[in-house]
Amino acid sequence: MKRLWVVLFLLVISPLTRAGDLQQLLQLVDYVGVDYGEAVADGAVINAAEYEEMQDFAQGITQQVAGLPDSAGKKTLIQQSEQLSGLIAAKAQPADVNALTSRMRLAIVDGYKVTVVPRKQPDLARGAQLYSEQCASCHGASGDGLGPLAKGMEPPPINFRDHERYSQRTLYGLYNTITQGVPETAMTSYHELSAHDRWSMTFYVGQLATADDQRNAGEALLADPKLVSLTDIQKLTVITPAQAVSEFGADGGALMGYLRANPAALFSKDSPLQFSRHRLDDVLVAYRDGERETAYQLAVEAYLEGFELIEQGLNAVDSGLRIEIEQAMTGLRNQIRQGVSVEELESSIIDIKGKLDVASDRLEGRSLSGAAAFASAFFILIREGLEALLVVAALAAFLVKTEHRNSVHYLHIGWIGALAAGFLTWLASVSLIEISGAGREITEGIAALLARAVLFYVGFWLHDKTNGAQ
Ligand code: HEC
């Protein structure tokens, strides 16, 4: 009897776990397709860490494909995953890798009937920008289908403002069209854009037909318990606005209009870094239990569903740290694969979590409060000012002691000149050169080296002169 329950339980949960695995497999495939271009160009590795990651993920893909349940497409997928590893090993052109990964994506989606959902909150502002750059020429700047290239086009570009058509389209369907294109029409595939970009455009074009009053009405319904299942991203992306109306009434239609324009309400507020930390804990638990395969998948999740989402933001403030964490995560996956001891894995995880803490400080540091920024600048100035005062006082004492009192005016010219030079540097830094991200680190580094050189020079000079004077 007990065994029967276990079997029943497994039957119930196995489709769920399978759906999760398939989502991750799709993510890995998408990730390799889009990011491979950052690892290899013209047959040569241009970023070793990125390349290592690609090799690791290709291996992960092969493993996950091997573990898929049997289906008509599995054999092709196995061949394709081997081909993918081969292309990466041969440092093939990014376009070839991308073409293969998009065939693989299709094979997974078709073969296993996966519904893809966005894993990161779609960014409508970014969607709008990409749309105006890449789509408006056909679909029109306002989405009315009357772009400059649309004249005489057969079939014509879709008018996204047409409410009738809007009612019949799921977000998932729009996403698929953007990803795959429509054969034998002017609508080509945009699979080379990242999944996040494609989803951002999907939500953007998917809300062009809604009116302000509809969306405003929808916002008021967010907390309505009758509509709660509609705020589930899985559901929202696969039903049409017409279905939302027939299932939930006019309120359902209004809420869908609101959510398509404001997807933030669909995504948890848990920070991506927090997510990574929790997943890393889960990795350790699974590894301790001897479930290496699960530990590996959780480690991939800790990276792709957490850290990777803030990678660009972190890159702007501390690109070195970003690379360090990325490499540490690759290292962790390799350790799991090699089957290191639990203690060793644990110490790597503690190390990564420490680095994630630094990352979150760095990201928060970007937005110092006014008072904190004032205090930090104030103390730096006081400290540096004191240092400068000491140097000037030492020089003055030296002149007096060596009976060069008449040369003191040179000293005055010096410090007044330094003030003027400081002012000019400030002017240049705010108006002439843009200092941001990695640029800031480089500027800091060069300035620190220059300052050391000047200090050494002054130190030696003083030493030399004091010796000479004696
Ligand atoms: C060269 C012209 C052209 C460009 C550029 C273009 N499209 Fe299209 N698009 C079309 C045509 C034509 C169709 C209609 C295809 C058909 O009839 O099945 C279409 C259909 C679509 C559909 C299907 C809509 C539906 O209701 O079925 C979506 C979604 C779409 N395009 C989005 C985009 C996005 C997003 C971009 C920019 C990244 C874009 N298109 C760029 C011509 C274009």
Centre of ligand 1 from the C-alpha of residue 187, in Å: 5
DSSP H/E element including 111 = helix 94-112
Is the model's pLDDT at 439 over the cut of 80? Answer: no
Q: Among 130, 158, 174, 196, which residue has the most ligand 1 atoms within 8 Å of its CB, making it the best to mutate? A: 158
Do the beta carbons of residue 360 and residue 82 sit within 8 Å?
Answer: no
Rounded to the nearest whole angstrom, what is the distance from the C-alpha of residue 139 to the centroid of ligand 1?
Answer: 7
Name which of 51-65, 73-87, 293-307, 453-467 the model is least confident about: 453-467
By mean pLDDT, which of 203-217, 406-420, 428-442, 443-457 is the weakest? Answer: 428-442
Instruction: Classify residue 103 as exposed, middle or buried by CB count within 10 Å of its CB (0-12, 13-18, 19+).
Output: middle
Give the mean model confidence (pLDDT) for residues 335-350. Answer: 93
State whether the beta carbon of 240 lies less than 6 angstroms from ligand 1.
no
pLDDT, tens digit, for every residue of 255-295? 999 999 999 888 866 678 888 998 899 999 999 999 898 89
Q: Is 111 exposed, middle or buried (0-12, 13-18, 19+ CB in 10 A)?
A: middle
From the CA of 149, how far away is ligand 1's center (Å)? 12
pTM above 0.85, yes or no: no
Q: Which domains does the chain have, with CATH numbers?
A: 18-112 (no CATH), 124-266 (1.10.760.10), 272-365 (no CATH), 386-469 (no CATH)
Alpha-carbon span 204 to 200, nearest angstrom: 6
User: What pLDDT digit, counting tens, does each position of 121-152 carry?
Assistant: 899 999 999 999 999 999 999 999 999 999 99
Find tokens 């995880």 and name the residue.
Answer: 349
Decide whether any atom of ligand 1 lies within 6 Å of the 205 Cβ.
Answer: yes
Give distance in angstroms: CA of 135 to centre of ligand 1.
Answer: 7
Mean pLDDT for 462-468 is 73
Residue 6 pLDDT grade (very low, low, confident, very high; cuts 50, 70, 90): very low
Q: Are 196 and 123 in contact (CB under 8 A)?
A: yes
Write down the mean pLDDT value for the chain: 85
In sequence order, the 6+-apart residues with CB closer than 8 A to the CB of 150 are 138, 139, 140, 156, 157
What ligand 1 atom has the least distance to the C-alpha of 190?
38
What is the reported pLDDT for 377?
81
Ligand 1 neighbour 149 (Cβ under 6 A): yes
